[in-house]
Structure 1
Amino acid sequence: MEKIEEQFANLNIVKRSLRTKEPTYLLGIDTSKTVQADKGSLAAVLCSKGSIRIYDKERLNILREFSGYPGILNGVKFANSHDSVYSSCTDGTVKCWDARLASEKPVQLFKGYSSNIFISFDINCDDHVICAGTEKVDDDALLVFWDARINSQDLSTTKDPLGAYSETHSDDITQVCFHPSNPNMVVSGSTDGLVNVFDISVDNEEDALVTTCNSVSSVSHIGWAGKDYKQIYCMTHDEGFCWWDLNHLDTDEPITCLNIQNVREGINMKEDTLDYLIGGLYHEKMDRLFIVGGTNTGVIHLLSCSATGLVYMCSLQGGHSATVRSFCWNVQDESLLTGGEDEQLLLWKPGAVEKTLTKKGSMKIASSVYQRVRVHGNDSYKKRKKQ
């Protein structure tokens, strides 16, 4: 644990993105899995105005921007084997662009069913299957699936769904996350408080449901952890944290490793505060789960997760001036990308020194941003809890 703490604490800013004409929150970050010697690596950033910006990861200059207009994009993810970048859209599609092409038109369009509004998605580890979650419309909240493979005999750029799951969530599906190495395992989270694990190799939804965990709150983030990634964790919109061990499904041991309804209470932050959680990172070599959180003034905190609770480790200061909304931490090359409500995209590396130490001030953004950053209601899971 000391090594990861030292690695995180030694990070310094080497580059800041330039301010753009139209202010926007930076809500999500992913980096390309492939690197070309002459072109380097790419970073894709989800913006609150409903678009995705493609950056040169090292220089942080914007190369191009993709829009979901008239819909709003939700989530951002690079393919695992090529430079395609995906996002779900409120217009009832999942869109795929070639991140190295300047064309604004998606190279692939995955169409949902009538009235679908997609607010979450993921693509599995072999790039074969896409799954997207919908807002609740009438009584339906769906997980919709597509075959993402490119068929050389079918050059159509539009694909229809393979099918959908409709019985396991009763409200907006805010999160979808495939297993890092098993292409058939996927976990979903919802404002109904439920976190569901599926094996999609099974024919029907009822049998595909491996287990249901209840966070007793509206789910904001989910991920996989543990040896062979047989654990799942989730964060909630009211800053709760839950952690479950799927190894215990067929034993008498409880599957709940940790359940904290409000992480802002009861954690020793020494001289600082913890205002919110951003996301998690499972470190394979150390077999440890780490949580990243922050303050409303832009300080980033690293927490260690164990069965006894969350423990504060160290902080990064002097970077952001407002709430940090997203991060992408590459443990292999020890780099960290962070984005926030101050419009800044920052690149951190160990022991580096920033050439220009200009810190951008906090921004006030028009109300359209607040419409984009949706606050989910808790009525659904409260009703379920009473039942």
Structure 2
Amino acid sequence: MSRIPVSRVPSLLPELTRCAAAPAQPGSELYIYEAVRAGRGLAVSTSALEVRLYDRFGLSPVHTLKHHAGQITQIRARGDRLLSSSADGQIALWDLRQPAARPAMVFTSADPILSFDLSTDDTMLVGGTQLNSSYAAKILFWDVRAAGAPARAFEDSHSDDVTQIQCCPSASKQFLSGSTDGLLCTFDPTQPDEDDALLYVANTGASVARCGYFGPESQFIYAQSDMETLQLWTVEATQLADFGDVREISQSGVPVDYIVKCEYDAASQRLYMVAGSNDGSIRLLHVGVSSMEHIQDLSSGHTDIVRAFDWDLHDGWAVSGGEDGRLTWWSQADQAQAPSTSAGARRPAAAGSGATSRRFAPY
């Protein structure tokens, strides 16, 4: 049996059902890398070095954004603004209110940009780069009001690719970085010196693929590795849990081949893990401090590895995309079809009387 205790709790969330599916581009062999809510629609990055915009509910194509000359490494949305980073060393900012042939602003780097985030006060853009030929992996800072080269850089905290940048949702002047060197670093960017700015360092012992804040005060950090391991930490670099290789839970009857992402729901104060199987099935699990709860499987949406998953727990829907080039819309089981853009928001039904006791409570 797996050393990760896994129980089956299907009532924790309303059930999601496949409502629509469509190829990102009929007749092509595109990979879908990421999908995010953007403006009133959906933005999808693909292996064609472009970002495609879709109607959020009908999955019909709306517009295509072409600018980058290298692989798109990340996309993020903030209101009607969309940002995309690329191995071409650029972060493009697009104004979705006026779809155009060119981005509204372009922020540049001498090195490929692997990750980035925008501070919660919308004033600072932080990017992480690939290790360059001079063996420098940089964290770069731009003033959002000034396109072009970065205003400053940190070069000493990481010794390998900076794979993740996450600005703290509850503190506009704090951010987290994760790297292939296995380190999670928490910074205060108001400090001009890198040594003074570095607050805490956690060594996960594994190449960090994704990391992020969770908890009501963003006091915890999750870190998943490219070896499919998952760890939980405090922001002060105290380890709370090491689940090891999450593929071990397959021994408990929940087939898992990889982690897609983790998702924190602030309303319920719960951390969820979205995992997948090589056949395209998606597993939804609730993550506790020492165990996991298997909520639901999303099947028949994909035939290959799922890379993208954007989940709106408040309105009860999700969209997924993957190496089969397909987009799939999932919605609450009590909805016969995806709601129209004019429909009012729907809140998921209550999870049941025992839901509160399953919130993440490490102490």
Do structure 1's residue 144 and structure 2's residue 140 form an aligned pair? yes
Distance in 2, matches of 1:65 and 1:19, equals 11
* Counterpart residue type for residue 26 of structure 1: I
Q: For each residue in 1:176-224, what CA deviation from the matched residue of structure 2 results, as whole angstroms up to 9, or x when unmatched?
A: 1111232211111111111111111222211111111112111111111
1:43-192 aligned at under 5 Å gives the runs: 43-79=42-78, 82-112=79-109, 115-137=110-132, 138-149=134-145, 158-192=147-181
Distance in 1, matches of 2:176 and 2:87, equals 21
Match of residue 10 from structure 1: 15
Match of residue 343 from structure 2: none
Do structure 1's residue 238 and structure 2's residue 224 form an aligned pair? no
Count residues in correspondence: 328
Distance in 1, matches of 2:101 and 2:170, equals 32
* Structure holding more strand per residue: 2
Match of residue 324 from structure 2: 342
Question: Is contact 1:74-1:120 (8 Å) kept?
Answer: yes
Match of residue 280 from structure 2: 298
Deviation at 1:6, TM superposition (A): 3.5
Structure 2 length normalisation: TM-score? 0.85
Deviation at 1:268, TM superposition (A): 5.2
* Counterpart residue type for residue 98 of structure 1: D
Q: For each residue in 1:245-266, what CA deviation from the matched residue of structure 2 results, as whole angstroms up to 9, or x when unmatched?
A: 23xx3xxxx8111113311125
Q: For each residue in 1:99-141, what CA deviation from the matched residue of structure 2 results, as whole angstroms up to 9, or x when unmatched?
A: 24332211101122xx311111111222211111111012110
1:204-215 aligned at under 5 Å gives the runs: 204-215=193-204
* Counterpart residue type for residue 125 of structure 1: T
Deviation at 1:8, TM superposition (A): 4.6
Describe the SS at the equivalent of 2:42.
Answer: strand
Match of residue 259 from structure 2: 277
Root-mean-square deviation (CA, aligned residues, Å) is 2.1
Q: For each residue in 1:51-90, what CA deviation from the matched residue of structure 2 results, as whole angstroms up to 9, or x when unmatched?
A: 21111111211111123442222100112xx311101122
Do structure 1's residue 307 and structure 2's residue 289 form an aligned pair? yes
* Counterpart residue type for residue 120 of structure 1: S
* Counterpart residue type for residue 130 of structure 1: L
* Counterpart residue type for residue 241 of structure 2: L
Question: Is contact 1:7-1:350 (8 Å) kept?
Answer: no
Do structure 1's residue 263 and structure 2's residue 260 form an aligned pair? no
Question: Is contact 1:268-1:311 (8 Å) kept?
Answer: no
Describe the SS at the equivalent of 1:168.
Answer: coil
Percent of pairs with identical residues: 28
Distance in 2, matches of 1:59 and 1:126, equals 32
Distance in 2, matches of 1:232 and 1:7, equals 23
Distance in 1, matches of 2:65 and 2:57, equals 20
Structure 2: runs of 5 or more not aligned: 1-6, 339-363
Structure 1: runs of 5 or more not aligned: 35-40, 151-157, 356-387
Describe the SS at the equivalent of 1:227.
Answer: coil
User: More relative contact order in 1 or in 2 (CA 8 Å, sep 6+)?
Assistant: 2
1:221-232 aligned at under 5 Å gives the runs: 221-232=210-221
Question: Is contact 1:184-1:199 (8 Å) kept?
Answer: yes
Report the CA distance shift for 1:344/1:6 in structure 2 as closer, same or farther (over 3 A): farther
* Counterpart residue type for residue 142 of structure 2: W
Report the CA distance shift for 1:353/1:58 in structure 2 as closer, same or farther (over 3 A): same
Report the CA distance shift for 1:8/1:295 in structure 2 as closer, same or farther (over 3 A): farther
Distance in 2, matches of 1:49 and 1:349, equals 28
Describe the SS at the equivalent of 2:246.
Answer: coil
Which of 18, 23, 26 in structure 1 is aligned with 2:29?
23
Report the CA distance shift for 1:109/1:48 in structure 2 as closer, same or farther (over 3 A): same
Distance in 2, matches of 1:261 and 1:216, equals 11
Q: For each residue in 1:260-288, what CA deviation from the matched residue of structure 2 results, as whole angstroms up to 9, or x when unmatched?
A: 33111256542x41111011111223222
Report the CA distance shift for 1:69/1:5 in structure 2 as closer, same or farther (over 3 A): same
Distance in 1, matches of 2:131 and 2:67, equals 20
Distance in 1, matches of 2:184 and 2:143, equals 24
* Counterpart residue type for residue 113 of structure 2: F
* Counterpart residue type for residue 169 of structure 2: P
Structure 1 length normalisation: TM-score? 0.80
Question: Is contact 2:12-2:295 (8 Å) kept?
Answer: no
Distance in 2, matches of 1:230 and 1:116, equals 32
Distance in 1, matches of 2:159 and 2:257, equals 29
Question: Is contact 1:129-1:147 (8 Å) kept?
Answer: yes
* Counterpart residue type for residue 92 of structure 2: K
Question: Is contact 2:210-2:261 (8 Å) kept?
Answer: yes
Question: Is contact 1:269-1:312 (8 Å) kept?
Answer: no
